[in-house]
Amino acid sequence: MQYVKLGWSGVKVSQLCLGTWYLPRLDERDEYGVHKVDVDAVMKIMKRAHDEGINCIDTANRYHGAMSPVDLNHVGNSERVVGQFLKTVDRESIVLATKVRGQMAAWPNGEGLSRKHIRWQVRQSLRRLGVDYIDLYQIHWPDPDTPKMETLRTLNNLVEEGVVNYIGESNHPAHDVVEFMELADKHGMEPFVTMQEVYNILNRDIERDKIHVAKRYGVAILAYSPLAQGVLTGKYVDFNARKWITPNNSRAAISSSMQGYMNDGNLRILLELNEVAKSRDITLGQASLAWLISMQERLGVNIIPIIGISKMEHLEDDLGALSVKLSQDDLKRIDDIIRTH
């Protein structure tokens, strides 16, 4: 396993972080008709990941693991599943990350980034996770109704109280992150150590401005959807017929957000990227992860892909990407493919 620094901090995290938005699921459904998470399979995958040196786990208070979008009857489930795993290992061996912002109750203060909501939800996350502190507490997306200073002071207090070690943001526009960081510097408060953003070969939007912000403040990028929710593994493409497919019981079956990836331009990109992977005798997923990891050196910022695992073979494939070193010719070829389409 390779390790990188978590932004400006001294904490070392594995080059791959285990995500929990999408987990193995059972055919069995609960009383609401929603698939249950296969907890036994999750425990085996997490144990294998831990044995291989993955020490970073990312979750969120709203995640369920087998449902998207998540209703209020199912929020918190992923944190509870992670909590079950944490009972089986030394807590100090894990860098644990979770998030706050989304709706957790129907009442007026059931969501947001106010002091009231954050303090309520950090207590709830600690209970669901079965821990007495969180390593990385992230604000999941903006709350225009709450002043940034209120949010930042609340997070700073959690760090001072030892409830949280570090703070980070996710899905905020670059100018919001700059404002938070400048407020922290001006008032001597805790700055963000991470930015959790979508980043993959098919979605490079953060290179326009957020990468520059990350470099400016020494912040690490936690890259979610590094394989474009599985699209970059090739599982949704019939390469012989040169068309998109949707396998039964796949992530595409439960997530409408994936449809944005499944267009003609991306299909042409995948067809050509697959040829690059075949020329290196690696999988398309490994080539895509290796490309993302290689961007650390090119961009000058630490990038930690958050991998979602629903089967043990997915974990094996992702781990294999760590031994792949793409050549400059490979990287140029990939750049040319993306530029062309």
Q: Please state, in angstroms and rounded to a whole number, the distance separating the CA atoms of residues 139 and 124.
A: 15
CA angle 61, 80, 223 (to 5 degrees): 50
Q: Rounded mean pLDDT of 39-66?
A: 98
260 pLDDT tier (thresholds 50, 70, 90): confident
Per-residue pLDDT at 236: 95
Q: Rounded mean pLDDT of 121-126?
A: 98
CA dihedral (286, 25, 68, 139) positive or negative: negative
Per-residue pLDDT at 246: 86
Mean pLDDT for all residues in the chain? 96
Report if pTM > 0.85. Answer: yes
Q: Rounded mean pLDDT of 269-295?
A: 97
Per-residue pLDDT at 256: 66
Q: How far is CA 225 from CA 143, 151, 285, in A?
A: 23, 26, 12
Q: How far is CA 337 from CA 1, 93, 238, 318, 340, in A?
A: 30, 40, 19, 23, 5
Q: Rounded mean pLDDT of 272-278?
A: 97
Q: How do the residues of the chain divide into helix, strand and coil, expressed in percent and rounded to 5?
A: 45, 20, 35
Tens digit of each residue's pLDDT (9 = 90 or more) over 6-52: 999 999 999 999 999 999 999 999 999 999 999 999 999 999 999 99
Q: Which residues contact 241 (CB under 8 A, 6 or more apart)?
A: none
Q: Rounded mean pLDDT of 239-254?
A: 80
Per-residue pLDDT at 90: 98
Q: Rounded mean pLDDT of 82-105?
A: 98
Residue 50 is which amino acid? H
Per-residue pLDDT at 247: 79
Q: How many CA atoms lie within 13 A of 129 on its CB side?
A: 29
pLDDT at residue 254 tops 60: no
In 87-151 the beta strands, taken as DSSP E runs, fall at 95-100, 134-139
Q: Rounded mean pLDDT of 314-335?
A: 97
Q: Rounded mean pLDDT of 142-166?
A: 98
